[in-house]
Amino acid sequence: MQNKLSFHQSSVSLEIIGLPDYSNNENKDQISIISQWKLTIVDKPLIEGKIEHLRPIMDAFYIYSNLLIKNEIPIYESKLIDIKADNLHIHNIVLKSSKANVKPLLLKIGNSLLSDTINCFDQLNESPKVIIKNDITTNVPKKLRFGLNKKVKFFNIFIPPFFAICSLILFSSSFIYFYSPFENIEKKELTNPE
């Protein structure tokens, strides 16, 4: 008999079906061997997939929502899922099937459904009854990882000269107080007596 757990948030619900790992002395009602998951969004087709797809899809939503907030261009692309913004209010999701000859599933969701979905994933992450192996570093697409490293490197290159220039400006501005224009005029008069 498999355990079933549901997480609801307004128009979205996430269902997790699986078994506890008895070899790890887990309780009867726990799930750590997930056999099936279903993401239901009202008025949209049902999303379900293999267990190895759940974590990448969750990460895609988390990364995309972070990009959306941080004023960056919100685009997430991977082998499994693409999320792009139509505008600030509507988001296009393309779910690609691992099976051949299956067309990708296209979904359009608004900010309300996006936040419902994120909150469902949050509930799953915080649930003590479901254990999902966390392996975030392998799930971040190579393109994005490169982007993050590039950003860090850019700041490492940019910040030292920026501070150097600022300190030069501050240091040199203090010399304004030592500069005496009358002395200079006197010197000029001495060199050019005419």
Partner 1 sequence: MRKSYVNNNIKINEFDALIKITVEMSKYLYPYIREILKSKEDIKENSIIWNDFNMRFIELIEERFNIDSIRVKKLLNQAENGEIIIKSLLILSFCISNQGFQKLKNFLYDF
* 32, 15 contact by CB (below 8 A): no
* 6, 13 contact by CB (below 8 A): yes
**Nearest CA among 65, 63, 53 for reference residue 132:** 53
Please identify which residue in the block is written with the tokens 């300190």.
167
- Binding to partner 1, residues 48-77 (CB under 8 A): 65, 68-71
Minimal distance, residue 10 CB to partner 1, in Å: 6
35 versus 112: smaller Cβ distance to partner 1: 112
Contacts with partner 1, 72-91, as mask; x by CB under 8 A: ----------------xxx-
41 versus 49: smaller Cβ distance to partner 1: 41
By CB under 8 A, residue 111 contacts partner 1 = yes
Q: Select from 63, 116, 130, 141 the one that contacts partner 1 (CB under 8 A).
A: 116
Assign residue 5 a region (left: φ > 0; alpha: ψ between -120 and 50; beta: otherwise): beta
88 versus 100: smaller Cβ distance to partner 1: 88
**Nearest CA among 51, 77, 79 for reference residue 64:** 77
23 versus 87: smaller Cβ distance to partner 1: 87
By CB under 8 A, residue 36 contacts partner 1 = no
Degrees, nearest 5: CA angle 99-85-152 = 95
